[in-house]
A and B are shown apart, each in its own frame.
Chain A
């Protein structure tokens, strides 16, 4: 069965529904294979943000090759939180702008968005 590809419009809708969501993207690729960007909505404006492609390149190393294999990885930058979550057919990446509400709230929002993509 061909895995479902998130509709870009769905990602747009999802991004608009999640507070402070600066971007959301779906990368496809089975474990052991390189990830390719399939769909994305938005792009964080933060100066420290590399690019969707760069995050996609880093994702397998972060999720699968570290000291502990981690189905979920967080990148905490001064003004941005990026959540990477492994799915059976790829990786969802959610970027949420950090506010005074703190990282806990940002994490809840990021997880909420990620849970709606290919879960």
Chain B
């Protein structure tokens, strides 16, 4: 059976411990994709049919193929990481490197899903790991892929979400009309949490439809949650301590009226 984007992520979410290794992805066209994971986080994905990273570097940052080939040659000679050399030689800043690696990974994941994933086989890393330049959680990757498909800026959506979460609460952004998650927090959100919070949030939204710039909040033993809405975007945040919940609520209450988030068309 062919897996869609979400079914593919559900499969990728369960690598065996210690969760460092490669998913070899077989699509309808054969074994032609790979997703590398470091301690359960996505660090790289590639698909034969997706753009090459070098093309993206040239298109986005104007780095010529000649310059890229020079960096690759230096990599081979010095055994230094490609990304680190790009930064060291001034071709990119570290945030730009993180951005382009994430973008390439998500484009590859979307391309894999589009090609029709048939099977995912796990190959554990035989050494200490990949020492990646950048990683993202599986749920961040999934949401970035959805944003990419919808033509939205994933980094901007994540930045809007973190305005509320400030790195200390887990959460996500949901587009109400399409019922799709568009951003996941820096604080880890597991795949089951993402699915559970998405289902619950949409259920609550359907039952009591919070108005734009309104919010709901609940507090329990050790933490709580806040849900807020701006236009067609719904934010959900979950904290795990009383102090974090107090700060979260204060941020949402003081920010929601002017909170800026890209609205899908």
Contacts and interface: CB of A to CB of B under 8 A. Distances in A.
A67 B219 CA distance: 10
Interface string A58-101: 10011101111111111111100000000000000000000000
Interface in B222-238: 222-225, 236, 238
Nearest to B239: A68
Contacts of B213: 78
B208 A68 contact: no
Contact of B208 (A63, A65, A75): A75
A76 B218 contact: no
Contacts of A63: 218
A26 B225 CA distance: 24
Interface in B192-247: 193, 196-197, 200, 203-204, 207-211, 213-225, 236, 238
Contact of B238 (A62, A67, A71, A78): A67
A73 B193 CA distance: 20
Contact of A71 (B215, B220, B253): B220
Contacts of A66: 200, 204, 218, 225
Interface stretch (A6-14, A17-25, A48-56, A110-118): A48-56
A73 B209 contact: no
Contact of A67 (B203, B210, B214, B225): B225
Given A54-B207, A67-B193, A75 B200 contact: no
Interface of B: 193, 196-197, 200, 203-204, 207-211, 213-225, 236, 238, 253
B225 A74 contact: no
Nearest to A77: B214
A72 B218 contact: yes
Contacts of A58: 204, 207-208
Interface of A: 48, 50, 54-55, 57-58, 61-63, 65-78, 103
Contacts, number: 75
A103 B254 CA distance: 11
Given A66-B218, A68-B225, A75-B210, 5 more contacts: A57-B207, A58-B208, A76-B216, A76-B217, A77-B211
A61 B211 CA distance: 18
A69 B220 CA distance: 6
Contact of B253 (A48, A68, A73, A76): A76
A72 B219 contact: yes
Contacts of B215: 75-76
6 contacts: A61-B200, A63-B218, A69-B220, A74-B216, A74-B218, A75-B216
Contacts of B208: 50, 54-55, 58, 62, 75
Nearest to B249: A74
Contacts of B253: 76, 103
Contacts of A73: 216-218
Nearest to A54: B208
B220 A70 contact: yes
Contact of B214 (A61, A62, A71, A76): A76
A62 B225 CA distance: 10
A63 B225 CA distance: 11
Nearest to A55: B208
A111 to B, nearest CB: 12
Nearest to B256: A76
A93 B172 CA distance: 28
